[in-house]
Amino acid sequence: MPTAEESVDNGHRPYRLGVMGGTFDPIHHGHLVAASEVASVFDLDEVVFVPTGEPWHKSSQEVTPAEHRYLMTVIATASNPRFKVSRVDIDRPGPTYTIDTLRDLRQARPDAELFFITGADAMAQILSWKDVQELWSLAHFVGVTRPGHELQNMGRDDVKLLEIPAMAISSTDCRQRVAASEPVWYLVPDGVVQYIAKHKLYTPAQQQAPAATTEPVA
């Protein structure tokens, strides 16, 4: 696979597809800025957001059902014509591994050169990912800065590192804010704020309306 620089110099370069994997519980502006910055610097034609199905590495915490996370990701990316959302990870049964994500995307898009995007925290864990040695051959890896985390290339010269505007936002903080009735406006896209409220996500069960036990009034 050519390096990113070689491809830039090639007038007939292949389609460049960014891959932004994440649990997106919920998707926030840190994710969107990361994808946008990598798309700009690496001249990507498209970025596909891939919500995880069963994130095995988050098995110690409760994760919101995949369909909610998928729909929030669709809402958040709808206004950008270069952003798309893939169901490959949520439609594949079992734990989610990036090796499967990249194999599936390569099969679906054999024309494309893949650029997998990770924040500094995810990059720091990458050597523990399934089949990591094969991973490097399936995509370019781009690590982006994230406040509170040190960005490293994990000893690989072919891993690209990119400084992006610091967005001190995490999904954990967004969930905690909603649970504490604090605002998430401007941390997540407006449509995601409304989706969270409509479906009462991240709200402690005792604050949710009880399930209807009688026939609805006409």
Ligand X SMILES: Nc1ncnc2c1ncn2[C@@H]1O[C@H](COP(=O)(O)OP(=O)(O)OP(=O)(O)O)[C@@H](O)[C@H]1O
Task: Give me the residues that bind ligand X (CB under 6 A), please.
Answer: 22-25, 30-31, 34, 118-119, 121-122, 144, 146, 167, 169-172
| Token pair 């051959």: residue | 137
Choices 38-46, 51-59, 153-161, 195-203 (CB under 6 A): range interacting with ligand NCN: 51-59
**Least distance to ligand NCN from the beta carbon of 135, Å?**
8
Cβ distance to ligand NCN smaller for residue 6 or 91: 91
7 binds, among ligand X, ligand NCN, none (CB under 5 to 8 A by kind): none
8 A C-beta contact, residue 118 and residue 144: yes
177 binds, among ligand X, ligand NCN, none (CB under 5 to 8 A by kind): none
**Least distance to ligand X from the beta carbon of 13, Å?**
25
**Rounded to whole angstroms, how far apart are CA atoms 182 and 174?**
9
Cβ distance to ligand NCN smaller for residue 41 or 63: 63
User: Site mask, ligand NCN, residues 13-32, x = CB under 6 A?
Assistant: --------xxx---------
Residues 115-174 that bind ligand NCN (CB under 6 A): 122, 129-130
| Token pair 């399934």: residue | 130
96 lies in the binding site for ligand NCN (CB under 6 A): yes
**Least distance to ligand X from the beta carbon of 214, Å?**
37
57 binds, among ligand NCN, ligand X, none (CB under 5 to 8 A by kind): ligand NCN
Residues that bind ligand NCN (CB under 6 A): 21-23, 50, 52, 55, 57-58, 96-99, 122, 129-130
